[in-house]
Amino acid sequence: MGKHHQVFRNYRQEQRLTQRRLIVAALLVLLMMGILISRLFYLQVMQYDLYQTKANENRVMLVTEPPPRGLIYDRNGIVLADNRAIHSLTVIPERAGSIEELRKKLDPVIDIKEEEWENFRAKLKEYRRPYQSITLKSQLSDVEWAKVSVDLYQLDGVQVEAQLTRYYPFGEAFAHAVGYVGRITAKDLERVDKLAYQGALFIGKTGIEEYYEQALFGKPGLSKVEVNARGRIMSEIERQNPTPGEDVQLYLDARLQQYAFDLLGNYKGSVIAIDPNTGGILAMVSKPGFDPNLFVRGISVKNYARLRNDKRLPLFNRALRGGYPPASTIKPFMALAGLEYGFSSWQESYYARGYYQINPNGRRYRDWKRSGHGWINLERSIIESVDTYYYQLAHKMGITPIHTFLSKFGFGKELILDLHGASRGLLPSNEWKKARYKEPWYPGDSVNVGIGQGFMVATPMQIAAATSALAARGHMYNPRMAMSVGGHSPFLEDEASITEHTIKLKDERNWQRMVNAMKKVITDSLGTGRRLQGTEYSIAGKTGTGQVFSLQEDQEYDAESLDKRLHDHALFIGFAPADAPKIAVFAIFENGGSSSKPADLTKALFDAYLYDDYPDRYDYFEEWRR
Amino acid sequence: MNVSLYRRLIAFTNARLWQLAHVDILLLLALLLLMSGGLFVLYSASGQDIATVERQMLRLGVGMATCLALAQLPPKYMRRASPLLFVILVALLIAVLVAGVGAKGAQRWLALPGGLRFQPSEIMKIVMPMMVAWYFAHRPLPPSLKEIVTVLVIIAVPSLMVAKQPDLGTALLVGVSGIFALFLAGLGWRYILGAAAAAPVAVYSLWHVMRDYQKQRVLTFLDPESDPLGSGWNIIQSKTAIGSGGVYGKGWLEGTQAQLNFLPESHTDFIIAVLAEEFGMLGCVLLMCAYLLVIARGLYIAAYAEDNYARLLAGSITLTFFVYMFVNIGMVSGILPVVGVPLPLVSYGGTSIITIMATFGILMSIQTHKRAL
């Protein structure tokens, strides 16, 4: 058949067949061209905005430049938190090659610890912008800096960068007041603007550094840069310079703080000094402390474990969180409550035996003086710190008026305005006991509260603030650290309702009478604070010895420290000059035994503060005045 | 005036001189237009590297020389050589599979003495339509079923061998060039429709022979956003480049996607995205018009070729050239999977410039060796 056709092939027809097919093909070509053009139309006209945006997102990147952090000063302009220029060895991994090569090149030049290499490796794994440098070794010594600088030209991708780091010149004594900055964690980034902290080295973690973080941090510089696909910056499109952080000036007196810290000696404890005229905190000590500089560039696991496991709890802020029985220091306030609600008067006499009983055959609540004080009145109950007087007074009052009255002085409240993490302590009430123990309030409970024991727990800050209110004759300030932030008061005038209030008494004369009683605690021959006699100014004070419950966290204590636990906490409140107070102090020596220690400390602080009379060794603070 | 200009143009193109030199001046002009436009884009796409442009010009020059040289060879010699060439190339493809060298898991080259490398599959793109055209040269058209089956085997064997290397893009072009010859030979419509119906089955079986990275390309094509930083990166970035170009483009050398290296392979396979970004839709349409000129001339040459061999060969060559372009632009704009087909005569490098220009030499030969015009 094929051969038959071959003979009579119609070439013309075959040509036409192929030509028809070529026309079909040409039409298909046009159709497919049409498809391509409609695709381009879709992408370039209909989706133009979308892809335009995408292209810009690709190429434009925001880079932040961290601002210099604001400094923290004490009331006299002494720097408590400084910025210090350090030189760090940083590496741009994209240019430096592998870690092994880098080590080979760096080893002869500079000593880099295994730990630092580990950190470097860890940071290498975290997300970062390409060509962003990573710190390999921070705080080069001058010798190291010089050595590296010489060899820098042959170390690709290695550079020495000047950075500002935080430095706390006075360390431990200020750790709990000023706080510290530390490495920024993922958790920190959840509560701040991530973009702003890009490139920042640290963030406020505790204390003033934490509370005023926003002001101290400032506003980072922002540049819009054009980057290529590898993230390398090609050019700068727009730039906004960083605004430095604002300085914070505290009410704190650096020397007073250091002095109080030193005077605590080897005791654990806390000292707080407040200016009754402003509520400003002049000193806030929690001992033991720790070196805040350890935290700045990230604390090592070893150092942190050491602080965490220390039985003396150096990381625990006793001033704000320590829960202590206020003990006899509560008596002036308890007495004012009795006067206010008509349960006692200045004239009424009371026979003080060595103990107090609710029922004739009931439990004996003992006085610190076994023989009793004999016939006394309200004033003498303060001077001699008569326990039985307050047993009977609290018993008569019951807990509700006590609760109402003591709340006015800030007991049971956080109080402090500009530090986080203050404890509320415990000002017990009927409702509280029902909720907590499913039991009613018993009269015996009141008796214990009458001398600041039992269920009552207060923080040093609460007792100090109440003392300050007493010194100011009822003008109660919520204590605060910062005097000014960026040159302005951190609290506006119309916020006065938050920062202060006046405690009204039915008889306002009771303020002065109570102060007089507290003056006699010092001046009276039987006064519990008579050892403070002999000052040119007058002191009002009240001693206290707290039966030991130790800290609320007392499970931390073990048998080994039981001996010391048997010692009572020693407390003292006082203010001076008694009739125009400039300073109110609360001091507690944990397991300090007798209240003579805090009393002596308080007097030393008064002398120093009122006469600007500090031991010579504190002169070095002057070097940090700006 | 216009009429006389047109006449002078015809006279120019039909000039005896061109005929003697065996140059088809219209095809040559269309090709030069395309090449010069391509060089312009390449300069931008290569990161303004004049050395790259010079190397490309050298390649284009060699291609042009190949074209003009082949144009001197009368089609009848090509016809006679076709089966022998085919057999030799099939043998070479076997050699590639056995002893080939290559990179990224693909064996595509034969090592030659002196460090040279030779890619037989590239030549197969030319020889395949020659073989099919040769087969039909002495047989009456349209083909019988037996002839169709024979030709399909002829097409399938080298195509599958190339696919096995694996080089899907080239295999596709090799197969398509044979199929086009078969189509132009008058393959019955019922077979075409039947094949269209059987396509889903073919796709299914094809999926099973594909290598993982080929499957990945298809999957990425279907959903580029699934792996935006890995295999989807190319296509997302090329679409972004094209889309952000808009109608008029960002201007020459101003494309951010291309100049800041967001666009991968910007001077090779993805060069059309650079054009689209910097010259917009307008630039793309103009470039496609240049391609259309070449294709139109090729189809014209095919339609008026002297015999079946020349017609089928010329037609197949031209349509394959179009497929090149279509697949490349389709892939870069995201309507076809990324199969690694360069934009013909515009993309940088590759042996493809030489082989493509060789096919245009064949077209010119077919057009200029006709005994009577």
pLDDT by residue (tens digit) across A26-47? 999 999 999 999 999 999 999 9
Phi-psi category of B265—alpha, beta or left, where left has phi over 0 and alpha has psi -120 to 50?
left
pLDDT above 90 for A161: no
Rounded to 5 degrees, what are φ and ψ at A370? -60, -35
β-pair type (A248-250, A72-73): parallel
Rounded to 5 degrees, what are φ and ψ at B301? -60, -40
Residues in B closer than 8 angstroms to A226, CB to CB, are: 256, 260
pLDDT in tens, B15-64: 778 888 899 999 999 999 999 999 999 999 988 899 999 999 999 999 99
Hey, where are the domains in chain B?
A: 25-58+212-302+312-353, 80-210
β-pair type (A203-204, A500-502): unpaired
Q: Which two tokens stand for residue B83?
A: 């089966």
CB-closest option in A25, A43, A59 to B256: A59
Tell me which chain A residue has its CA closest to the CA of residue B136. A14
Residue B200 binned pLDDT confidence (cut-offs 50, 70, 90): confident
| B256, B295, B321, best to mutate vs chain A, most A CBs in 10 Å | B256
Q: Report the pLDDT value the prediction gives residue B164, as an integer from 0 to 100.
A: 85
Query: Which of B 160-219 lie inside 8 A of A, CB atoms?
Result: 180, 183-186
Question: DSSP labels for A345-370?
Answer: -SS-EEEE-SEEESSTTS-EEE-SST
With CB atoms and an 8 Å threshold, state whether B243 touches A43.
yes
Q: Report the pLDDT value the prediction gives residue A565, as an integer from 0 to 100.
A: 54
Distance, C-alpha A142 to centroid of its chain: 34
pTM: 0.67
With CB atoms and an 8 Å threshold, state whether B184 touches A21.
yes
Residue B185 binned pLDDT confidence (cut-offs 50, 70, 90): very high
pLDDT above 50 for B162: yes
Mean confidence (pLDDT) of chain A: 89
Q: Which residues contact B64 (CB under 8 A, 6 or more apart)?
A: B31, B357
- State in Å, rounded, how far the first CA of chain A is from the last one: 114
Which residue did the predictor score with more confidence, A297 or A425? A425
Residue B225 binned pLDDT confidence (cut-offs 50, 70, 90): low
| A1, A20, A51, best to mutate vs chain B, most B CBs in 10 Å | A51
**List of E strands, A317-429:** 349-352, 355-357, 364-366, 374-377
Residue A614 binned pLDDT confidence (cut-offs 50, 70, 90): very high
Q: Report the pLDDT value the prediction gives residue A151, as an integer from 0 to 100.
A: 83
pLDDT above 50 for A556: no
Q: Which two tokens stand for residue A334?
A: 């308890």
The angle, 0 to 180 degrees and rounded to 10, between the axes of the packed helices B271-303 and B233-245 is 80
pLDDT above 70 for A130: no
Query: Which of B 41-100 lie inside 8 A of A, CB atoms?
Result: none
How many angstroms separate the CA atoms of A154 and A105, rounded?
9
- Average the pLDDT over B140-166 and give the result: 91
Other beta carbons within 10 Å of B9: 11
What is the residue whose two structure tokens read 């077979």? B191
b/e map B175-197, b = 16+ CB within 10 Å: bbbbbbbbbbbbbeeebeeeeee
CB-closest option in B237, B280, B299 to A44: B280
Q: Report the pLDDT value the prediction gives residue A558, as an integer from 0 to 100.
A: 43
Q: Report the pLDDT value the prediction gives residue A185, as an integer from 0 to 100.
A: 84
How many angstroms separate the CA atoms of A173 and A401, rounded?
39
Residues in B closer than 8 angstroms to A58, CB to CB, are: 237, 240, 256-257, 260, 262
With CB atoms and an 8 Å threshold, state whether B241 touches A55.
yes
With CB atoms and an 8 Å threshold, state whether A43 touches B257.
no
Dihedral through CA A293, CA A294, CA A295, CA A298, nearest 10? 130
Phi-psi category of B183—alpha, beta or left, where left has phi over 0 and alpha has psi -120 to 50?
alpha
Residues in B closer than 8 angstroms to A228, CB to CB, are: 260-262
Distance, C-alpha A412 to centroid of its chain: 20
- The catalytic site residues of A sit at 328
Q: Report the pLDDT value the prediction gives residue A73, as an integer from 0 to 100.
A: 96
Kindly list the structural domains of chain A, giving each domain's residue range(s) and its CATH number in brackets, ordered by start: 63-250 (3.90.1310.10), 254-624 (3.40.710.10)
pLDDT in tens, A427-439: 999 999 999 999 9
CB-closest option in A9, A35, A59 to B260: A59
Residues in A closer than 8 angstroms to B246, CB to CB, are: 44-45, 48, 52
Residue B229 binned pLDDT confidence (cut-offs 50, 70, 90): low
CB A288 within 8 A of CB A311: no
| B132, B189, B244, best to mutate vs chain A, most A CBs in 10 Å | B244
With CB atoms and an 8 Å threshold, state whether B280 touches A9.
no
Q: Report the pLDDT value the prediction gives residue B6, as an integer from 0 to 100.
A: 83
CB A225 within 8 A of CB A237: yes
Q: Which residues contact A345 (CB under 8 A, 6 or more apart)?
A: A339, A378
pLDDT in tens, B270-288: 999 999 999 999 999 999 9
Distance set, CA B66 to CA A489, B62, B124 (Å): 86, 6, 16
For chain B, percent of residues with pLDDT exceeding 90:
58
Beta carbon pairs, A and B, within 8 Å: 142
pLDDT in tens, A339-367: 999 999 999 999 999 999 998 888 889 99
Residues in A closer than 8 angstroms to B257, CB to CB, are: 55, 58-59
Q: Confirm or reject contact between B150 and chain A (CB < 8 A).
A: no
Q: Report the pLDDT value the prediction gives residue B227, as an integer from 0 to 100.
A: 64
For B78, the 3-state DSSP assignment is helix
- Average the pLDDT over A293-302 and give the result: 88
CB-closest option in A32, A54, A234 to B326: A32
pLDDT in tens, A76-112: 999 999 998 888 888 888 777 788 888 888 888 888 8
Residue A566 binned pLDDT confidence (cut-offs 50, 70, 90): low
pLDDT above 50 for A554: no
pLDDT in tens, A174-224: 999 999 999 888 888 888 888 788 778 889 999 999 999 999 999 888 888
Tell me which chain B residue has its CA closest to the CA of residue A29. B322
> Based on C-alpha coordinates, what's the Rg of chain A?
36
* A37: closest CA of chain B, how far (Å): 7
With CB atoms and an 8 Å threshold, state whether B260 touches A21.
no
The angle, 0 to 180 degrees and rounded to 10, between the axes of the packed helices B352-368 and B271-303 is 20
With CB atoms and an 8 Å threshold, state whether A40 touches B242.
yes
Q: Report the pLDDT value the prediction gives residue A114, as an integer from 0 to 100.
A: 84
With CB atoms and an 8 Å threshold, state whether B243 touches A230.
no
pLDDT above 70 for B103: no
Which residue did the predictor score with more confidence, B3 or A403? A403
For chain B, percent of residues with pLDDT exceeding 70:
94
pLDDT in tens, A450-493: 999 999 999 999 999 999 999 999 999 999 999 999 988 888 76
> Based on C-alpha coordinates, what's the Rg of chain B?
21
Residue B221 binned pLDDT confidence (cut-offs 50, 70, 90): low
pLDDT above 60 for A552: no
Tell me which chain A residue has its CA closest to the CA of residue B291. A33
| B147, B184, B236, B291, best to mutate vs chain A, most A CBs in 10 Å | B184
Which residue did the predictor score with more confidence, B153 or A3? B153
With CB atoms and an 8 Å threshold, state whether A17 touches B241.
no
How many angstroms separate the CA atoms of B269 and A389, rounded?
98
Q: Report the pLDDT value the prediction gives residue A4, as an integer from 0 to 100.
A: 46
Helix H segments across B14-144? Answer: 16-21, 25-45, 50-71, 75-99, 120-137
Maximum C-alpha span of chain A: 152
